[in-house]
Amino acid sequence: MGVSFDNNLVACADMVRRGDPSRFQATMAAPVAARGVLFPIYAFNIEVARAPWVTQEPLIAEMRLQWWRDVLEQIRSGGGARAHEVATPLSGLLDAEAITQLDALIAARRRDTQRAPFEDDADFSSYIAATSGNLMLVAARALGPVREDVVRDAGFALGLANWFRAIPRLEAAGCKPLPDGRPEAVRGWAREGLRCLAQARVSRAGVSRAAFPAMLPLWEAAPILRRAADQPKLVAEGGLEPAPARSRAMLMLRAISGRW
């Protein structure tokens, strides 16, 4: 399948490069055809994820999120999407199920507009599943057949790893990013992420070869979760990042081997 990187796709790729470097690297390790699918989906995620943080006014943040919900409804109705560097290429990639999942992702992000703390572990778990889990599922399904439970387990593990990485920034913004920030609670979540990732990997056959590129962002998840489990205090210190050279080598190994 040939893919022409027009101005919109180039803009999506640049948005991901600047806003989500890990997913950008993972996508650049994928075949060109897959990049044309993944970049608009990941750019959508960046637009939605940052909407609550670009303003101190909850109402304005809500309006930004509602704009994207309206875009999804336009696509669902069959009328395409308004001309926009992300919405336009996204409109050709989504079926009704994907639209529902992305709408749930936006709904989950609404809590960020209020900087609201999580009520309990179940509330936090639902947030990670609705954001990272839904994003990975939409990306994978847009590329090829998958077993939903396998992708959701993997997406949950990646979501926890990425959330741990973001905790120093969230705390600096005055947020309480975990329902329980004690080291033993952090360790418990890290171990749960590793359990979900191991469970997903046991069932790798549930993800088709065509959908494999959507799983490449997992390449750093296990090292980050293991470090958080072994030394949970590193989470608040921002000390989870793998060494860049080792990280790049790991990504190339995953991409070549086809084993996420």
Taking CA atoms, 35 is separated from 25, 98, 118, 257, in Å, by 11, 18, 34, 18
Residue 1 is predicted with a pLDDT of: 45
- DSSP tag of 79: S
Q: What does the pLDDT average to over 14-37?
A: 97
Q: What is the pLDDT of residue 83?
A: 87
Give phi and psi for 146, each to the nearest 5. -145, 160
Distance CA 240, CA 78 (A): 44
| Distance (Å) of CA 212 to CA 2, 49, 246 | 18, 24, 21
**Chain segment 112-150, per-residue pLDDT in tens:** 998 889 999 999 999 999 999 999 999 999 999 999 999
Phi and psi at 51, nearest 5°, equal -55, -45
Contacts of 217 (CB under 8 A, 6+ apart): 22, 23, 26, 136, 158
Domain 117-260, CATH class in plain words: mainly alpha
Distance separating alpha carbons of residues 190 and 197, to the nearest angstrom: 11
Tell me the average pLDDT of the chain. 95
Mean pLDDT of 221-245: 96
Rounded CA-CA distance 236/223 in Å is: 17
- Identify the burial level of 209 via C-beta atoms within 10 angstroms of its C-beta, where 0-12 means exposed, 13-18 middle and 19 or more buried: exposed
- pLDDT bin (cut points 50, 70, 90) of residue 5 is confident
| Percent of the chain whose predicted confidence (pLDDT) is above 70 | 98
Q: In this structure, how many other beta carbons lie within 10 angstroms of the beta carbon of residue 18?
A: 10
Q: Please say if the pLDDT value at position 79 is more than 80.
A: no
**Token pair in block for residue 234:** 């590193």
Look up the pTM and report it.
Answer: 0.95
Q: Residue ranges of the domains in the chain? A: 7-115, 117-260
